[in-house]
Structure 1
Amino acid sequence: MAAVTTVSFSALSQSCSERRFNVSSTRALASNLEGFRFRTCHYVGVSASNSTSPALLIRCMSSLTDVPTVSETKLKFLKAYKKPIPSIYNTVLQELIVQQHLMRYKRTYRYDPVFALGFVTVYDQLMEGYPGDEDRNAIFQAYIKSLNEEPEQYRIDAQKMEEWAGAQTATSLIEFPSREGEVEGILKDIAERAGGKGSFSYSRFFAVGLFRLLELANATEPTVLEKLCAALNINKRSVDRDLDVYRNLLSKLVQSKELLKEYIDREKKKREERVGSEKANEAITKCLGEYLYARQ
């Protein structure tokens, strides 16, 4: 399996003409993002039969009111980060936050470090090149907090998984069930829950997290992924399909960014030519003025 492509985002200029380009570029990008949707199911079943106690019904209805709407999550994000975000980045963020909201409040959802690694990988690649490291981190903080989770935990767990994977081989990676350690314990817990002994909610972020582990261990062969999925009780066909979608998304993002960079470069060159022409005109005018003054 090929390595996941790294997305490099060029800094965006804030001129009016560039913002007009962003509108058309963003519309195209929005259509490309349609494939990167999480397969989730978001519902709570409440039986109205005579055997259901009133107290149980009240508790069920109460739990429904505790779940924020997508609009509330998006509003919370906008309140936490009030600066304007360039449209080509904002389109991606808004699409992801809607999908992650549906996944976050799914009945079977439970946070785990592999999922965190997957999200951090996606976020860092999508936002690479965003103007200002401080702003990029502030957006990350606002995004995770809008989902009522802890951004620091995401970063810490992602780093922990990366450091562990970097010290592994293809063999040791898939032999985690027979070994002891903090990360091995995390993977065992995931395997147990995914095997039907607890709550587990598979997502594309989880698939990306798995591939990132393989990538850091220099073990991206399909056979290794197959064995790791088997050890974790994860459907490999789902992982393969989701990684294909992810790579396709990154490829389209790269194309969009390249088009935007070309446009910005052209506009910059035009501005430089205009400035050069204006300076030349000023020089000619000055020389002519001096000549006329000398003739007097």
Structure 2
Amino acid sequence: MNNVRTVSDTKRSFYSLHTRPINTIYRRVVEELMVEMHLLSVNADFSYNSIYALGVVTTFDRFMEGYQPEQDLTSIFNALCQSIEQDPQRYRQDAARLQALAQSLPVQELIAWMSQTTPLDQDADLQAQLQAIAQSSAPNANAESSHFKYSRLFAIGLFSLLELADSELVKDDQQRSEALKAITDGLNLSADKLSKDLELYRSNLDKMAQALIVMEDMLLAERKKRDQRQQQSKTPATPPSNNE
């Protein structure tokens, strides 16, 4: 008997947990992230790791920026995680731990650590996760013992670590490419695949920012029209002239 959850099951669970309507422009973001997390959660090769968690948190926070009402964000994020039977606090806590770590290290040390050339003692758990990823992704890895599934969200987690350590480095095409190449080589990942996923991520962030500007302009225009109508309704009608 096949008891694997379907996308429909996950969506049903999400909307039973977060019952308030989601603003139109953000609904697609939420549902695409939900489907992506669902497909990974039911993949036999997937196992949770803190870099993936950072990718999920970063994606949610960046794409949901400006959402109103802001107090709904916690409910939406919690429902996303709970709908795939995961603990949202674990995601947030692991992401916060990595964010603090990245901000405390010189970027070159972070790159050397993630590329497995210089072990560091700051986070033994992350060190073990990186080693497991490198071993699972190696060409001669035992498929039966492999428990790492590369994903776009994992790539975003790696990128976020670099961005937090040195925001200027990631803006420089050459430095960014060299850093990502060193990391992917050390972890036995495809540099080409990761670069394409990150290009799409950055492009979608730009599109989202543009869409929010357009939406804000439309709201302002509608507000002005509404104000004008209200002013016109308050202005008394001009009495007819005696000459008429």
TM-score (norm 2): 0.85
Corresponding position of 1:146 = 83
In structure 1, distance between residues paired with 2:136 and 2:86: 21
Q: Secondary structure at the match of 2:71?
A: helix
Q: How does 1:138-287 map to 2 (within 5 A)?
A: 138-176=75-113, 177=116, 178-182=119-123, 183-195=126-138, 196=141, 198-218=146-166, 219-220=169-170, 221=175, 222-281=177-236
> Deviation per CA, 1:174-212, whole angstroms, max 9, x where unpaired?
332322232333322322232335211001101111111
Corresponding position of 2:42 = 105
In structure 2, distance between residues paired with 1:162 and 1:191: 21
Contact 1:116–1:209, Cα closer than 8 Å, also in 2: yes
Contact 1:191–1:231, Cα closer than 8 Å, also in 2: yes
Letter matched to residue 225 of structure 1: L
- Compare CA radii of gyration and give the structure with the larger one: 1
Higher relative contact order (CA 8 A, sep 6+): 1
Structure 2 regions of 5+ residues with no counterpart?
240-244
Corresponding position of 1:37 = none
CA RMSD in angstroms, aligned pairs only: 1.7
Using the TM superposition, name which of 232-241 and 192-201 deviates more.
192-201
Structure 1 regions of 5+ residues with no counterpart?
1-61, 289-296
Letter matched to residue 78 of structure 2: Q
> Deviation per CA, 1:18-51, whole angstroms, max 9, x where unpaired?
xxxxxxxxxxxxxxxxxxxxxxxxxxxxxxxxxx
Percent of pairs with identical residues: 34
Corresponding position of 2:242 = none
TM-score (norm 1): 0.71
